[in-house]
Amino acid sequence: MMADHGDPCDGQEASYCMNGGTCYKILSMNTLSCVCNEDYKGSRCEQLQLPSKFTNAGEAGLITAVVIVVLLILVVLAVVIFYVRK
């Protein structure tokens, strides 16, 4: 028995999970569970996991911060140019 997932499914139960997921029996709950491949998610591995443009939320936050700083610099430059030309 695998401590993390339960016993492997057998017979018709083995085809319970979709898209190459691995089926396990959770005996204490009398239910089936799936461990999905990295490309799929859902209770039966039925949903395609779309790849993210960002590897993590920190990367997206860094990009957002850089864009905001660049925009602030452009606004400050525009104000300085406006007052210098006056």
Q: Is residue 14's pLDDT more than 50?
A: yes
Are 59 and 17 found together in one domain? no
Dihedral-angle region of residue 31 (phi above 0 means left; psi in -120 to 50 means alpha; beta otherwise): beta
Distance separating the N- and C-terminal Cα atoms of the chain: 80
Residues 34 and 58 in one domain: no
Q: Helix, strand, or coil here: 47? A: strand
Strand, helix or coil at 81?
helix
Secondary structure (3-state) at 43: coil
Q: What is the pLDDT of residue 54?
A: 58
The range of the structural domain enclosing residue 35 comes to 1-51
> Are both 35 and 64 inside the same structural domain?
no
**pLDDT category of residue 58 using cuts at 50, 70 and 90:** confident
Name the residue type at position 43. Answer: S
* pTM of the predicted protein model: 0.54
Alpha-carbon distance of 19 to 49, in angstroms, equals 12
Residues 3 and 34 in one domain: yes
Q: Indicate which CATH number applies to the domain containing 38.
A: 2.10.25.10
pLDDT at 28: 87
